[in-house]
Homo-oligomer: A and B are copies of this chain.
Amino acid sequence: MRHLSLGPGREFDAIRALIAQWGDAAQGLGDDAALLDVPHGARLVVSVDTSVEDVHFKRGWLAPEEIGWRATAAAISDLAAMAAEPLGLLLALSVPPRWMDDLNALGAGVAAAARFAQMPIVGGDTTGGELLTLSLTVLGTARAPLSRRGARPGDIIYVTGRLGGPSAALRALALGERPAEAHRARFAHPEPRLAAARWLAERGATAAIDISDGLAADLRHIAAASSVTLELDVSAVPLLDGVTLEDALAGGEEYELAVTSGALDPAAFEAATGILLTAIGEVSAGASEVRAKQGRARVDLPRGHDHFST
């Protein structure tokens, strides 16, 4: 679909420059609303996720392209959690005057993440503001969506990837130190686990969540939604080199997946996706809670990330 022409004005000039740069990463922009098609038999999956300067990132910590990528990948990660096929995304951007020169670089990061997920940018809105704010609406489709509900007693808890990188990077950045490159990459350039999620859904995963609030907090969401107890063995949680267990349990914004399922074949998963899959616990009947052990000892879990507490 061609983009509709836009009338004159500075706001539209800025949008036009963005659209020109996006090229075929964008589709059908410029009308009051976007038109998309949901295949017959599939459900529409939709989520919105907002990244705010000084809440989710600081200007000096990331390049503008990374801010755009990260905000977009974080939103797309919610589609992965539902095992959805990407359909399209919308970008609502509040741009303070001091960020206007970085608008195209921010947009390039958004487009790069959209291309990674093979989903077009189909709409958006730009306004002023005091803090750079990127609010991404992501649309997908799924014939058999996963959710947080569905974990059954006897299931195994799995997690993708190695955790702790974003938290370790953020700790270093907050101290004015240079984070390890591997930690920084996990913070600046998360890759939504779309294909991994579909692999897991096709092999019987019963519940899934993307780890955005921290592993401990997100497992609590599954426990609450599924009305089960999750028994986590913290000694099994796969750590990125150089991070602490606390980084891996409490750190948000991992954008890895936690899933429950009957027994899976981690080697087959890794062969298919290039990503580690690790069993980290079991589901049992009981109160909606997460219980943790380290070896044989019971341990307390950290609280999760909470934007209103910061």
| A interface list, Cβ under 8 A from B | 4-12, 14, 30-38, 40, 43-52, 54-56, 78-79, 81-82, 84, 88, 90-92, 94-95, 100, 122-131, 133, 135, 137-140, 142, 145, 147-149, 209-210, 213, 217-218, 220-221, 223-225, 227, 288, 303-304, 306-310
Known: A46-B137, A50-B135. 7 other contacts (CB 8 A): A7-B221, A12-B306, A30-B225, A33-B84, A36-B46, A38-B44, A48-B135
Task: Name the residue of chain B whose CB is nearest to the CB of A47.
Answer: B33
CB pair A90–B137 under 8 Å, yes or no, is yes
In the assembled complex, the Cα of A128 lies from the Cα of B52 at a distance in Å of 8
CB pair B127–A33 under 8 Å, yes or no, is no
A19 to chain B, nearest CB (A): 14
A138: chain B residues at CB < 8 Å are 33
Task: Name the residue of chain B whose CB is nearest to the CB of A124.
Answer: B48
A to B CB contacts below 8 Å, 28 in the list: A4-B147, A4-B148, A4-B149, A4-B224, A4-B225, A6-B224, A7-B217, A9-B217, A11-B307, A12-B306, A31-B148, A32-B78, A32-B81, A33-B84, A36-B43, A36-B44, A44-B44, A46-B88, A46-B90, A46-B122, A48-B124, A50-B92, A55-B94, A55-B128, A56-B127, A92-B92, A126-B308, A131-B131
